[in-house]
Chains A and B, each alone.
Chain A
Amino acid sequence: MRTPEDQWLEDLYRNTLPRVAAMVYRMGGHLEMAKDIFQDAVIIYLEKQQAQKLPPGVPAEAYITGIARILSIRKLKKSGTAVSLDEMTGEISVPADYYAPPPVSRPVLDYVRAAGKRCLKLLQAFYYDHHSLTDIAADFNFKTPHSASVQKYKCLEKVREQIKQSDYAETLS
């Protein structure tokens, strides 16, 4: 079923992607790069929205274009002086770990992903989506927010141990 967020995203792509694509083109980038940069800018915007870290009164389109500009400059290795940066850019930041490689090796990643799907979903709802324990309890069918909290810590321990064991196994092999 189509959600209001789907519609919002579609409008965003229609209205803002052409603007970002034109900017990437002017800086010497290509189509695939424009798509990737726009997508990353949207993800960073959504993360900041969920964490309630957006500056007040800045429209989503302007903020996303600002992030895309920073990402374009970084990717295309142009100096800041070659591109006009408006005042709002100072309020925009890209998470330090955004382009970090996966924190575990690919085999460990695959193992954890396969072994703990429900736990990863639960941890994602809390740590990434910043949902409240009340909402998590409802979404994951726990009787109370406290049960959801206890399960969250059990999951944290379970995944933590999986990573540790896999890490040890890799070190020994």
Chain B
Amino acid sequence: MRKHLAEAQEIEQYLLANMSAPARLVFQARMLVAPALREKVKYQRKTMQLVRWLAREEKRRQLDTLLQQMLQDKPFNDSITSIFK
């Protein structure tokens, strides 16, 4: 794997807490002295958060579509809406 991809892999292991304790300490020490690495970690963390955020948004859309379809069924619709009357 090319060097920069290996670095992305190393950052991933750090962010997913898949590093041994000594390796984690070494990595944190490297971040302290390397602003470029620190910045890559920051943006890779944001990327992983974004992936999760977008996946949840998509899941919400899928579930909403399912519910809208199910609410076309009158008995089911009534069983929910009658609770709030």
List of A residues within 8 angstroms of B43 by Cβ: 160-161, 163-164, 167
Interface SS of chain A? helix
Interface residues of A in 92-117 (CB under 8 A from B): 97-98, 100, 102-104, 109, 112-113
List of A residues within 8 angstroms of B83 by Cβ: 18, 21-22, 25, 31, 34
Question: Among the listed B12, B44, B52, B76, which residue makes an inter-chain contact with A128, where contact means beta carbons less than 8 Å apart?
Answer: B52
B16 vs chain A, min Cβ distance (A): 9
List of B residues within 8 angstroms of A31 by Cβ: 80-81, 83-84
Tell me the bound Cα distance from A161 to B36 in angstroms.
Answer: 13
Residue A156 at the chain B interface, CB threshold 8 Å:
yes
Residue B79 at the chain A interface, CB threshold 8 Å:
yes
The answer to whether B76 and A14 have CB atoms under 8 Å apart is yes
| Residues of A in contact with B (beta carbons under 8 Å apart) | 6, 9-10, 13-14, 17-18, 21-22, 25, 30-31, 34-35, 39, 42-43, 46, 97-98, 100, 102-104, 109, 112-113, 120, 123-124, 127-129, 150, 153-154, 156-157, 159-161, 163-164, 167
What are 15 A-B interface contacts by the 8 Å CB criterion?
Answer: A18-B79, A21-B83, A34-B80, A34-B83, A39-B60, A39-B67, A42-B63, A103-B50, A128-B52, A153-B1, A153-B8, A153-B9, A156-B8, A156-B12, A164-B43
